[in-house]
Chain A
Amino acid sequence: MPVGEHVGEVVPWEGPESGAPIGVPLVDLLDRVLATGVVVSGDLVLAIAEVPLVRLSLNALLSSVNERVAAPWGDGGPL
Chain B
Amino acid sequence: MTRTVEQPGPRQPLRTETSAAVATYVFAVCRGGDPAAVAGLPGQAPGTPVRLLRFGSLEAVVQDVPAAEFDAENLRERLADRAELERCARAHHSVIAAMAGSAPTLPLPLATLYLGDERARVALRADERRFLAVLKRITGRVEWGVKVYARPEAKQEPDRSAEAAGAPGSGAPGSGAAGSGARSGRAYLERVRGARQDRERRQQAGLAAAEAVDRALRGIAVASRRLRTHETTLTGERGVQLLNAAYLVAEGDEHDVAAAVREVRRSPACRSVEVEVTGPWVPYSFVDGSFVDGGEPDARG
Q: How far is the CB of B76 from chain A (nearest CB, A)?
A: 6
CB atoms of B109 and A48 under 8 A apart? yes
CB atoms of B82 and A39 under 8 A apart? no
Contact of A40 among B1, B112, B241, B251 (CB under 8 A): B112
CB atoms of A8 and B258 under 8 A apart? yes
Contact of B90 among A2, A21, A40 (CB under 8 A): A21
CB atoms of A9 and B278 under 8 A apart? no
Contact of B234 among A21, A36, A62, A72 (CB under 8 A): A62
Which label, helix, strand, loop or mixed, suits the secondary structure of the B interface?
mixed
CB atoms of A32 and B284 under 8 A apart? yes
B244 at the interface (CB under 8 A from A): yes
CB atoms of A41 and B113 under 8 A apart? no
Instruction: Using A6-B255, A7-B258 as known contacts, say yes or no to A78 and B240 having CB atoms under 8 A apart.
Output: yes
Chain A residue total in the interface (Cβ 8 A): 63
Q: How far is the CB of A76 from chain B (nearest CB, A)?
A: 5
Q: Which of A41-71 contact B (CB under 8 A)?
A: 41-50, 53, 56-57, 59-66, 69, 71
CB atoms of A47 and B7 under 8 A apart? yes
CB atoms of A16 and B203 under 8 A apart? no
CB atoms of B239 and A17 under 8 A apart? no
A74 to B120, CA, bound (A): 48
B287 neighbours in A (Cβ, 8 Å): 36-38
Q: How far is the CB of A49 from chain B (nearest CB, A)?
A: 5
B282 at the interface (CB under 8 A from A): yes
Q: A interface vs B, CB < 8 Å?
A: 1-2, 4, 6-11, 13, 15-17, 19-22, 24-50, 53, 56-57, 59-66, 69, 71-73, 76-79
Given contacts A40-B123, A45-B112, A48-B75, 9 further A-B contacts (CB under 8 A): A1-B97, A9-B258, A9-B262, A37-B108, A38-B287, A39-B3, A49-B5, A72-B237, A76-B240
